[in-house]
Amino acid sequence: MKIQCQACQTAFNVDAAKIPEAGIQVACKQCGAPMSITRKGIAGKEQGAAAAPVQPPERVAVDGADLASQEARLVELIAADDQDGAADLFLAMIKACAQSGDFEGAEQLHARMYDETPMALNTIIAAGEAIEELKSCSIDPEHLERWDAIYAELDQEETTILCFALKDVSYPAEAIVFKQGDLDGRLFLVEEGELKMVCPDPEGEEDITVQEVQAGDIFGADHFFSFSECTYTVVVATDCRLKCLEKTYRFNWMEEQPKLEHTLQSFCNTRAKTSDLIVQQNVERRGGDSRSSKVVATIEVIDTDKAADDWSRSVRFTEVSPGGACLELKLNKQVEAEALLGEVLKISFKLQVGGVEKPVKMTARVVAINFMAFGGCEMHIEFTKELSEKALALF
C-alpha cells in the first residue's frame, strides 16, 4: 500500500498487513510530521478526495544564535509567569531537538520544562510523548531484525530503552577492543565485521584464538554480568561496527527494568561463553595444581582509589594454587564488588609451621567476584608473588 505524507507530499510503501486494526501513529521520515495510518491509508483522508496540504510542524533551531534567542525568549516568558507560552516554546524546542536526533538535548529540555512550567501538565505530557514517538521512528529496522531474538521478548518501551542505551563504536582492522586484565565491563553487539578472542599460549608461543565472532554475535557477557577482569583479549580481524552497552545500565535495570535485564542475560546464556572455551582449551592464566583450604584470614585494601581506607573483611580460603586463590566472604552490595575489582589486598592469617602457629602476610590483586545463589560470594585473587610448592603445602 502506498501512502503520502500530507505535510511534505513524500510517498512511502507500507505493508498493510503489519498495521494494527486500530491504526498506528508514526512520524514522517522526511519532515517529521505525525501521520495516523490505518489499513486503508492515511487516517482522516477520504478516498478519492484531494487533501489540503498540511504544513509540517514548525522546526525551531537549537544551536548558535537561534538557541540564544530562544533561551532569552524563555526567560522573558518565565519572568512574566506565562507558563502556557513558555511551555509551548519548550515543546517546539524539544521537537526540534528530537527531530534532529539530539534526544539527549530533548530530554534535558523536558526536565527543565517540569521545573519551569509545572502547571502546564498537558504540554509536558505531549512533549514526553513526542520524544518517545520520534525515538521509536528513528530506530534502525535492520538492527531490530538482526537482534530479533532479543527485541521479540520486549515491549515498545523496553525496546526504545535498550536501543538508546546502546552506543555505536567502530574499530579498524587489527585494533584492540580490550586486553586481558583490563577492567572493561561493556557488552558488545556485532553489527558488521569480524573479531577474534585470543589468550596467551601457556607454553609462551603465539596467542591462541579461542573464539571468532561476526555480525549477529555478542561478546563481553562474561564481564558484563559478573565482576571480573577481562580474561581474554579482543582483536579486530576486519573493520567492524559494534554497539556497546555500559555496565551501569545493568545495575539500573536490575531494579527499574528487571524484565529487560533478564531478557538480555537469557539471550547471552544461549551463546557460547568465551570463559568456558578458555577452560576447554586449557589456556587459563593461573597454572599449577590447586588444593582446598579452610584457612581463615583478614583482608584489607592497600590501593584505596576506589574503596574506603578502613575497609577490611574476614574471609576463608576455599581453594589455593601457586598463582592465586578463591576466598569466601560476605559483601553487602554489588557496587561494593565493582569497587573492589582490580584492588590490591593485604592478606593476614596464621599457618601451622612445624607444629607452631606463625603469622603470615601476603598481597594479592582482586580479579573476579561472584555472588552466590544463597548469599555470600567468592573472591578470586591473583598473588603478587607465586607460592612455592612448600608454601602451598602449608595450606
- Domains (ranges, CATH) in the chain? 2-42 (no CATH), 64-138 (no CATH), 148-280 (2.60.120.10), 291-393 (2.40.10.220)
Please choose, from the candidates 219, 221, 178, 214, the residue with its C-alpha nearest in 3D space to the C-alpha of residue 199: 178
Model-level pTM? Answer: 0.66
More confident residue, 338 or 114: 114
- Whole-number Å distance between alpha carbons of 150 and 160: 12
Spell out the residues 6+ positions from residue 33 whose beta carbon is closer than 8 angstroms to its own.
5, 6, 7, 8, 27, 54, 56, 57
Could you say which DSSP state residue 17 is in? Answer: G
Please choose, from the candidates 374, 302, 378, the residue with its C-alpha nearest in 3D space to the C-alpha of residue 342: 302
pLDDT of res. 278 = 64
Q: Is the pLDDT of residue 88 over 80?
A: yes
pLDDT digits (tens, 9 = 90+) for 261-273: 999 999 988 887 7
Beta strands in 225-343 (DSSP E): 227-228, 233-236, 240-245, 291-292, 296-301, 312-320, 324-329
**Cell numbers found for residue 288:** 599449577
Q: Is the pLDDT of residue 18 over 70?
A: no
